[in-house]
Amino acid sequence: MNNELSGLGLAMRAGKMVTGDELVLRAIRSREAKLVVLAGDASSNTQKKFRDKCGSYGIPLLVGYDREQLGASIGKPERLVLALTDQGFADMIRRKLGTTSEVEYIE
């Protein structure tokens, strides 16, 4: 596992993350999500959906890695989208992942 992604596993173990389309959308709508991480190999429709939703609610979105890497980082099968629900973890992940070449997009 990439060292940059180790913070995602820590957030998962701390209970400060939700995964899956519907749970992440619910966290965005309730403004519980502090950072959304989307797999770079997500379909263009899925990317557009989460870019639009995060943009509407003012939640930072990070697109990068692939679904296998995201899933492995949190000890689960493939994951397409994750939402961090703690500001401290979100800041740490943005600092760690924002400087790597694996990240395609961050806003």
**Between 106 and 92, residue with greater pLDDT:** 92
Q: For the residues 11-39, what does the mean pLDDT come to? A: 95
Residue 17 bridge partners (DSSP):
84
Q: How confident is the model at residue 26 (pLDDT cuts 50, 70, 90)?
A: very high
Residue 81 bridge partners (DSSP):
38
Question: If residue 19 lies in a helix (H) or strand (E), which one and from where to where?
Answer: strand 17-19
Q: In the chain, helix, strand, coil percent, each to 5? A: 45, 20, 35
pLDDT given for residue 98 in this prediction: 66
* CA distances (Å), origin 5, targets 29, 101, 103: 25, 13, 11
pLDDT given for residue 84 in this prediction: 96
Q: Tens digit of pLDDT for each residue in 52-71? A: 999 999 999 998 889 999 99
Average pLDDT for the chain: 89
Rounded to two decimals, what is the model's pTM?
A: 0.90
pLDDT given for residue 17 in this prediction: 96
pLDDT given for residue 96 in this prediction: 82
| DSSP helix/strand/coil, 29 | helix
Confidence check: pLDDT of 103 > 60? no
Rg (CA), the chain: 12
